[in-house]
């Protein structure tokens, strides 16, 4: 874990252990989140523009709640997986999207409505992704380097079991990959 010293409010690197799965019972998941005192942040209409890069993934997230340039490297495997993430808090009114589009080119655009919840350091999404369907994501996040990979994995598995997410429901790739496969 490290923070870039330019402005730690703008740029932050962290470690995630995360899963993505097809969702079959959103009401049950919402109820379980409520019973675990989840902090509901709201519903965000997000446009994720993925750019052509040689290593990892680079996307610009434009939403009403979250606006970030996100670079991440992650294995495309089913089940809990490590994701090394660098976030840059972006200004939706900036020329960043134009610069990235002209310099790198757009690979694909993901349009989704995302419900965002937190229980301590674990972030949950219920996503309705245009042209793909409904998904649930669990992201156990370590922003300080103090939690560690093993504890993040334990948290991710705990919520997978709580939500009764089975192996057949797990998705190994990103929404961008799923759209490109269509």
Q: Taking Cα atoms as reference points, which of 144, 170, 173 lies closest to residue 156?
A: 170
What is the biggest distance separating any 2 CA atoms in the chain, rounded to whole angstroms?
47
CA distance 142 to 151: 10
* pLDDT digits 0-9 by tens, 1-38: 434 444 445 567 788 999 999 998 999 999 999 999 99
In a domain, 5, yes or no: no
Find out whether 148 and 138 touch, Cβ atoms under 8 Å: no
pLDDT at 11: 61
* pLDDT digits 0-9 by tens, 58-111: 999 999 999 999 999 998 888 899 999 999 999 988 999 999 999 999 999 999
CA distance to 56, 66, 79, per residue, from 33 (Å): 31, 20, 20
- The count of other CB atoms within 10 Å of the CB of residue 115 is 19
pTM score: 0.89
CATH of the domain at 67: 2.40.320.10
Q: Taking Cα atoms as reference points, which of 109, 97, 106, 113 lies closest to residue 63?
A: 113
In a domain, 89, yes or no: yes
Q: Taking Cα atoms as reference points, which of 134, 118, 145 lies closest to residue 171?
A: 134
- Please give the tally of structural domains in the chain: 1
User: Domain range for residue 170?
Assistant: 11-181
Burial of 69-83, coded b for 16+ CB within 10 Å and e otherwise, reads bbbbebeeeeebbeb
Burial of 117-150, coded b for 16+ CB within 10 Å and e otherwise, reads bbbebbbbbbbbbeebeebbbbbbbbbeeebeee
Q: Can you point out the beta strands (E) in the chain? A: 11-22, 39-51, 57-62, 67-74, 81-89, 106-119, 122-129, 133-142, 170-171
> Average pLDDT for residues 35-54, to the nearest whole number?
97
In a domain, 133, yes or no: yes
* pLDDT digits 0-9 by tens, 104-162: 999 999 999 999 999 999 999 999 999 999 999 999 999 888 999 999 999 999 999 99
In a domain, 1, yes or no: no
pLDDT at 10: 57
In a domain, 110, yes or no: yes
């Amino acid at each position: 874990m490290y923070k870039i010293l330019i402005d730690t409010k703008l740029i932050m690197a962290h470690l995630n252990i995360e899963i993505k799965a097809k969702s079959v019972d959103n009401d049950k998941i919402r109820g379980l989140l409520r019973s675990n005192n989840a902090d509901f942040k709201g519903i965000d209409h997000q446009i994720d523009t993925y750019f052509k890069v040689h290593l990892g993934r680079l996307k610009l997230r434009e939403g009403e709640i979250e606006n970030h340039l996100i670079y991440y490297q992650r294995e495309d495997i089913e089940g809990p997986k490590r994701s090394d993430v660098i976030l840059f808090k972006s200004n939706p009114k900036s020329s960043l999207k134009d610069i990235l589009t002209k310099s790198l080119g757009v690979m694909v655009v993901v349009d989704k409505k995302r419900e965002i919840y937190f229980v301590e350091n674990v972030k949950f999404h219920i996503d309705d992704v245009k042209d793909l369907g409904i998904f649930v994501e669990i992201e156990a996040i370590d922003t300080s380097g103090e939690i560690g990979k093993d504890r993040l994995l334990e948290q991710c598995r705990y919520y997978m079991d709580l939500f009764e997410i089975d192996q057949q429901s797990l998705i190994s790739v990103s929404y961008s990959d799923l759209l490109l496969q269509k």
